[in-house]
Structure 1
Amino acid sequence: MVGKRASTTGTREQTAAVELPVARVLVDVPLPVHLDRPFDYLIPERLDGDARPGCRLRVRFRGKLVDGYLLERVQSSEFTGRLSWVERVVSAEPVLTPQLLELSRAIAAKYGGMLADVVRLVVPPRHASAEKNAPTEPGPAPQVPDPTAWQHYRHGTSFLDAVRAGRRARAVWQALPGEEWPARLAEAAATAAAAGRGALLVVPDHRDVDRLHAACVELLGTDGVVALSADLPPQQRYRRWLAVLRGAVRVVVGTRAAMFAPVHDLGLAVVWDDGDELHSYPQVPFPHTREVLVHRAHAAGAALVVGGFARTAEAALLLESGWAHELSADRDRLRRHAPRVTAIGEDWQLARDEAARAARLPSVGFEAARTSLQSGKPVLVQVPRRGYVPALACGDCREKARCRRCAGPLALPGGTEGGAPKPAACRWCGAAEAAFRCSSCGSRRLRAVAVGAVRTAEELGRAFSNVAVLTSGSGAVLPSVPDRPALVVCTPGAEPVAAGGYGAALLMDGAALLGRPELRAAETALRLWFGAAALVRPAEQGGRVIVMADSTLQPVQALVRWDPGWFAGLELAERAELGFPPARRVAAVDGAPDAIEALLDLAELPPSAEVLGPVPLGEVDEDGAAERERLIVRVPRTDGRALAGALHDAQAVRAARKASELQVRLDPLEML
C-alpha cells in the first residue's frame, strides 16, 4: 500500500540513495483510522547503509519530527508530489522483523484495529544502552528432560515426541489436581529447546511467572530463559527482548505482554489458564493471548498447549473442531489425585445448622477445617468479596442502604475509631454515615448483605482460637505459605501455594460468583474453584473441599465430579444455540446514538450479520450531551474477518469526516 507525503522538510539539498531510494514508513503516532497506512519518504544517500527494513527512524509528519519504522524499500513511489526526506536512522537494529510485521497485520485484521496500535504492543520502547549490552550468541542446547511425569496423561509422551520432532502438535491440557504445572511446562519448553527450537509460555500474573521461570531455570540455566512483562524497567525489558530477537535466548516466560515476543524458530507456544481475564490486553485492539498464540502456532507450524485445571468454552471449541486434541489423565488416576469435594448450599440445610449461623460455615466445613489443622496442615478459605462488609441493607425492609449525600452504596470499613467500631461509610464519596435512617421505612437498623474477606478472617479467628490467620488479596498477595496449621483467607485468584498442599479448602459464598450478571459467570466461578481446589491434598491423604453452593447446579456438579471438560462442552453447546462467543464472532460498538446510526449506514456488513440493539448503557458522553449506547453485531465465525474489515472501513470514513469516535471491540469478554 502506498501512502502520501507527510510534510516537507525545507530547502536543504540532498541526494537520494541510488538503490531502492523510497522508504515506506509506519509512523509511530496516534492516527485517525483513515490514515491507517504507511507513508512514503526519500532515503538520503548518507543513510543508505543504515536504513534497513525493520529499523527505527525519524521523519517529519504534520510538521513534527516523529518516530517510525521502515517497513520496506522500493524503487519508486506512486505519489506524484514531492516526497519528504527521512531525517535520521535512530537505530539500525531491525526490530520490526518480517515475521513480527506479518503477525501485527494479522492481529490488526482479526480485531479490526490499526497496524500502528498493534506494533506499539509488539515492539517495546527503545533503550540505547540495552542495544550495546544485549547478548547475541545462543548458549548450548539443553539436555532432553525426563518425560516420566507426562506419562500420567494419555498421549503425554507422544506429545513431547512431536515437540522434539518439530511437528504440529496442538493440545488442550487438563492438568491433574495438585500437579506441579510449572515443572511440566518447563519440561515441554526444554524439549523444544533441546531440538534447537524456541518456546513461548504465557501465564496470567507475576506469581505464575516467578514459579514458571524458576522451573525453567532448573532445566535450562539462567541464560537459557528470560521473563518478560510490561512493568519491567525499560532498560531491562528492552535488553531481554533484544536477547530474544537476536536468538540468544530460546525460551520466553511472561505475562500477556510476552505473547508477541520475537522467538526464533518457534517450536512451542503455551497459554496457561486462558480463562483468566488478565490474558485480554486492555489496549486497542484488545487482543487475547490465546488467539494470538493460536495464530502464531498455526503460522509457524509450532506445537501449542492450552492448559489449566479448568477448561474454557474456547478451548472446548478447539477440541470440537478437531484443531486440537485433549491431553488428560484417565479417570482412575484423576480420582487418586483429586480431593473429596462436598457441596453445601441449600438454604434449608444452613438454616438448621447452628455452626453456619455462627460463622457462615456449615458443620461439615468446621469439621474439615478442624481435621486439617489438627493434622498440621493449613486450610484455604476463598471469599469472593474484598473488604469487611462491602454491602449493607436496611435491617427491616431490606432496601439497599445508600448514602444520603451522593446515593452511593454504604459499607462497613472494619476496624475501630476511638475504641468503637467504625461507622458505615459510602463506597463512592467516603463520607461516614453514623446516623443511618432508611429512606423507605425509616428504620435505623442495618444488616450485612455481603461479607468480605477481612470480616471472614475475623470470624474464623474467633472460631479457631490459637490458630494463625493469614490473608491474601488486594494489595498484599502471598506467594506461598509454610506447611503448618493456619487459616489462609484469600480472594479468588490470590491463593498462595502451600508446601505439601492444603488439608482443606472452604469455598465461601458460591452464589456470589455464580450470580453475577455476566456471560461467563458460571465458567469463571468454576475456574476459580478448580484453581483453589487443585491446591488441596488428594482425598487419600485426607484432602477436603467444601463449596458453599447449590449441589444441583451444573458448575457445582462439575467440581464435585472433577470434570471441567463436561461443563465446557455444555457451555459451548449452550452458547452455540444462543449465538454467543465463541460459537459466533461478535462486535460490540459503544458510542452516542447518532454515531452508531451513522456507522450502520456506512458499514458494508456481511449478509450473515445480525444486528442487535442498540441499547442504553446508562452513561453519557464526554460533553454530557447524549446517552451512550451499545450495538451488538454477530456473524458466523467464517465471516469474522469480513465483519472486522467492514467496521474498520466504516470507522475510517467517519474519521475522515471528523465524526465523533466510537469504541469497537471484537469478541469482548463481557457483553452484558
Structure 2
Amino acid sequence: MSSGDEREQGTEGEQLALIRETVREAKAPRAKPRTWRGAALAERLPVARVVVNKGVLHLDQFFDYAVPAELDADAQPGVRVRVRFGAGARSVRGGRREGGRLIDGFLVERRATSDYAGPLAALADVVSPERVLSDELLRLARAVADRYAGSLADVLQLAVPPRSARAEGRPSPEPAPPPPAPDPGTWERYETGPAFLEALAAGGAPRAVWSALPGPHWAAELARAVAATLASGRGALVVVPDGRASARVDTALTEILGEGSHALLTAEAGPEKRYREWLAVRRGSVRAVVGTRAAMFAPVRDLGLVALWDDGDGSHSEQHAPQPHAREVLLLRARQDRTAFLLGGTGCTVEAAQLVATGWAAPLAAPREQVRAAAPLVRTVGDAELARDEAARAARLPSLAWQTVRDALASGPVLVQVPRRGYVPRLACERCRTPARCARCAGPVEAAGAHELRCAWCGRAAQDWHCPECGSPRLRARVVGAGRTAEELGRAFPAVPVRTSGRDHVLDAVPGRPALVVSTPGAEPVAEGGYAAALLLDGWAMVSRPDLRAGEEALRRWLQAASLVRGQTEGGRVVVVAEPTLRPVQALVRWDPVGHARRELAERAELGFPPVSRMASVTGPPEAVAAFVASTRLPGDAEVLGPVPVRSAPRGAPRRGDAPPDERWERVLLRVPPGSGAALAAALKEAQAARLARGAAAPAVRVRIDPPDIG
C-alpha cells in the first residue's frame, strides 16, 4: 500500500483500545450478541461481519456488528451498509458504543455468534438491498490485497463502482441465449487458432500467449474468442488499455453478437451508465464484458475466459492503492476460477514470455510466411548514414525517409511517430551536446515558441544562454516534439495536409486520403485502409532511457505504429531512425517480438531481475526508510538493494522525467527469488501496518510491490 493513498489514521487512544480489547477477547468465551443499548436483534443470524471502507493496513480485518430486527430482511451478504466507526471501535471484531462517525462498508457474512464477548454496535443502516459483493469477488479482492501488500478495503473500492440509486432502480435486460459457435474467420491464419476457439466452445480452459499479426483484425479475433466462450454457456471478460481499443472491440462484438449482448465498462461512459452496465453483469443479464483497467474486477457469472490485450501498456497498472496490474489480477482470476486465459498483443512482454517458458501457457502464433505477408517492409537509418548528410541530420529526416514519404503520399496517408509532443521539449549545445540548463536553478532549458527560450522549472527567460563547457551560444534539439515536426513537414510538403495526434488532442481515425499524420507514441489514429508508410523518428531517445524496460517499450511502441501500416504485399513501408545494430531495432526489422522477449528474459534470469524474481520498493526519507527496512521481518532469502536517491517533482509542480532530485528521499529495492513473493508481501504489509498504528507522527514511507520503473 502506498502511504500517499492512506485514507485516515486512527487516533492514539483508539489504537491503544484496540490492543487492549484484542488481548481481552482472546481470553473471553463466545457469547450471544447484545447491543450497547439493548435494541431488539434479528432472531436468526443476528451478527453481521462487515468490511469497512477504511483503507489502512492496521484495520484490514472484519468487524462484527449486531443486526437490528428492522434491518433483518435487507441485511444480506453482499449489500452496502452504514456503520458507526471511530471513537467507539474498541475491538478488532466488534464495535463497543454507538459513538463514532458513520462510514460505508460491505456486509460479507451473517453469523449466529461473534468472537467478541462484549456488546456489539448495531448496523446503522442498509444503504441498498442490492447485493453487489459476491463471494467470488470477495475472494479475488482478498487475493489481490495479499499479492500487493494492500488492504481489502482499498481493493474493493477499485472493484465495486460507486452506487447510483437511479441505476439500481432500473431493471436489467433478460439474458440472451448462448450464441452459436463462430467460424474461425481470421483465426485461421494462426496454426492453433481454430483449435483454440473449438476448445473455448467446448467448455475447455486453454491458456495462450497470442502474438497477434499486424493489421486491423485483432479486435474481431478477440470478439470471436468471446463468442466461442459464450457458446459454451459461460461468460467472458476482455480488458484493453484505453477507450479507443475498447471501442474497436465493442464494435466487433456488436457485429458478431448483436446489440445488448455485452457490456462496455469504461470511465468515458459516466458514473451512472457505467454502474448500470456493471449491475447488468452482476445480475447475470450480460455475460460478456469489455473494458479498460477497472473492468478486471467485473463480476461476470460463470466466467470462462479472461483476455488481456497489450499487457505492456502502462495504462494497465492501477495508480490507486494497492496499485495492482491488470495482467496479475486476471492471472489470479484464471487460477481461482479455472478459466481460459488469453494474453495478446502485437508485441511480447517479458512476463508473457515467462508464462510460455514455464509451460503455464502455450504460444499462439502465425507461421513466418503469414507474418511476412502481413507486416510492412522495415528499413533502418543509423548514425552513419545521418553523418553523411548534415542537413538531414539537423532535420532528423534522411534521404531515405524523404523519399519514402514522397512515394507513399501518392497512394495514401503517412504516419510519423515522434517520441515527444510539443515544439522543442529539450535542448542541448550544438557543438558538444551538453544539455542546456538554467543558470539560476539548473533546470532544463526548453523552447516555448519559435524564438523563445525559458527554464522548464522556474520559467526564467534564457535568451542569452551560452554553453558552460565550450562557450557556444548555438543550441540543437535533443528530441524535437510533434509540433515542430509537423511544422517542418508542412514546409517540405506544402500541398499535403498535416494532422497531429497527441495527449491534448487524440485522433481516433483518419481518412485513407494522402496526408501526413504526426503522432506521439500510443496516440496513433487508425487510417482507413492502412497507412502507406510510417516514419519512426528519434529511436535513440526511446531506446536510451535509463529503464530496465527501455528496449521492450521501444519495440512495443514501434510495433504498435508499424501494425497500422499496410502489409508488405500491399507496398507498406516503415523507416526507423535508430542504430540498426540495437536489439530492439533488429527485432522490429525481423518482426520478432517473441524472440526479443525470450532474450530479455534470459538476461533477467542471469541478473536476478523481475519477472524471474519478485521485487518491492520502499521510498521515503532516509531515516524512515532505514528504520522501516530494519523493522521488517524479511524472508531469509531477501536481498536489499540500495538505498539510492530518488527524483521527485517540486511541490505543486507537474512531474517531469528530469525533475530536480529531492535529497530528503531515498529508495530501497527488496528482491526475493521465485516462491518467496508472498512472504515478502506479507512481511511488508505487517511492517507497514505496525508503522501506521503508531499514528500520524510516523514518517511517510511508500511501499510498492512490482514497481514498474526500477531503472
Q: Which residue of 2 aligns with 1:107?
A: 144
Instruction: Give the % identical residues.
Output: 55
CA contact (8 A) 2:52 2:153 kept: yes
For normalisation by structure 2, the TM-score amounts to 0.89
Equivalent AA in structure 1 for residue 632 of structure 2:
A
Question: CA RMSD for the aligned pairs?
Answer: 2.2
CA distance in 1, matches of 2:368, 2:475: 49
Equivalent AA in structure 2 for residue 613 of structure 1:
G
Q: Which residue of 1 aligns with 2:409?
A: 373
Q: Which residue of 2 aligns with 1:265?
A: 302
Q: Which residue of 1 aligns with 2:634?
A: 605
CA distance in 1, matches of 2:662, 2:612: 37
Choose the corresponding residue for 2:434, options 399, 411, 420.
Answer: 399
CA distance in 1, matches of 2:257, 2:457: 50
How far apart are residue 661 of structure 1 and its match? Answer: 3.1
Deviations 1:192-219, CA, capped at 9 Å, x for gaps = 1222211111111111111111111111
CA distance in 2, matches of 1:134, 1:580: 50
CA distance in 1, matches of 2:365, 2:152: 38
CA distance in 1, matches of 2:85, 2:173: 34
- Structure 1's 391 and 313: CA in aligned 2 closer, same or farther, altered over 3 A? same
The residue correspondences of 1:57-96 to structure 2 (distance < 5 A) are 57-62=81-86, 63-96=100-133
- Structure 1's 670 and 358: CA in aligned 2 closer, same or farther, altered over 3 A? closer
The residue correspondences of 1:489-568 to structure 2 (distance < 5 A) are 489-568=518-597
Partner SS state of residue 227, structure 1: strand
Within the alignment, does 1:651 sit opposite 2:674 as a pair? Answer: no
- Structure 1's 65 and 231: CA in aligned 2 closer, same or farther, altered over 3 A? farther
CA distance in 1, matches of 2:121, 2:524: 57
Deviations 1:531-586, CA, capped at 9 Å, x for gaps = 11111111121111111111111111111111111000000111111111111110
The residue correspondences of 1:140-219 to structure 2 (distance < 5 A) are 140-219=177-256
The residue correspondences of 1:621-632 to structure 2 (distance < 5 A) are 627-632=664-669
CA contact (8 A) 2:419 2:479 kept: no
Partner SS state of residue 575, structure 2: strand
Q: Which residue of 2 aligns with 1:222?
A: 259
Q: Which residue of 2 aligns with 1:668?
A: 707
- Structure 1's 521 and 86: CA in aligned 2 closer, same or farther, altered over 3 A? same
- Structure 1's 149 and 205: CA in aligned 2 closer, same or farther, altered over 3 A? same
For normalisation by structure 1, the TM-score amounts to 0.94
Equivalent AA in structure 1 for residue 702 of structure 2:
Q
CA distance in 2, matches of 1:587, 1:611: 10
Within the alignment, does 1:482 sit opposite 2:518 as a pair? Answer: no
Partner SS state of residue 464, structure 2: coil
The residue correspondences of 1:348-359 to structure 2 (distance < 5 A) are 348-353=384-389, 356-357=392-393, 359=395
- Structure 1's 175 and 663: CA in aligned 2 closer, same or farther, altered over 3 A? same
The residue correspondences of 1:459-474 to structure 2 (distance < 5 A) are 459-474=488-503
Equivalent AA in structure 2 for residue 386 of structure 1:
R
CA contact (8 A) 1:319 1:326 kept: yes
Choose the corresponding residue for 2:458, options 429, 432, 435.
Answer: 429
CA contact (8 A) 2:176 2:261 kept: yes
Q: Which residue of 2 aligns with 1:310?
A: 347
How far apart are residue 358 of structure 1 and its match? Answer: 6.2
Moved more, 425-434 or 173-182: 425-434
Q: Which residue of 2 aligns with 1:116?
A: 153
Equivalent AA in structure 2 for residue 20 of structure 1:
L
CA contact (8 A) 2:55 2:151 kept: no
Partner SS state of residue 675, structure 2: helix
Equivalent AA in structure 1 for residue 63 of structure 2:
F
CA distance in 1, matches of 2:101, 2:709: 40
Choose the corresponding residue for 1:52, options 53, 68, 76.
Answer: 76
Q: Which runs of 5+ in 2 are unaligned?
A: 1-17, 23-32, 87-99, 652-660
CA contact (8 A) 2:210 2:344 kept: yes
- Structure 1's 9 and 342: CA in aligned 2 closer, same or farther, altered over 3 A? farther
CA contact (8 A) 1:54 1:95 kept: yes
Q: Which runs of 5+ in 1 are unaligned?
A: 415-420
How far apart are residue 425 of structure 1 and its match? Answer: 2.1
CA contact (8 A) 1:171 1:305 kept: yes
CA distance in 2, matches of 1:311, 1:179: 18
- Structure 1's 429 and 498: CA in aligned 2 closer, same or farther, altered over 3 A? same
Number of residue pairs the alignment of both structures matches: 659
CA distance in 2, matches of 1:65, 1:639: 40
How far apart are residue 601 of structure 1 and its match? Answer: 2.9
Deviations 1:434-488, CA, capped at 9 Å, x for gaps = 3334455555433322211111111112222211111111211111111111111
CA distance in 1, matches of 2:34, 2:387: 80
CA contact (8 A) 2:632 2:684 kept: yes
How far apart are residue 167 of structure 1 and its match? Answer: 1.2
Q: Which residue of 2 aligns with 1:340?
A: 377
Q: Which residue of 1 aligns with 2:624?
A: 595
Partner SS state of residue 409, structure 2: helix
Q: Which residue of 1 aligns with 2:677?
A: 640
CA distance in 1, matches of 2:146, 2:81: 25
CA distance in 1, matches of 2:554, 2:331: 25
How far apart are residue 137 of structure 1 and its match? Answer: 2.4
Equivalent AA in structure 1 for residue 334 of structure 2:
A
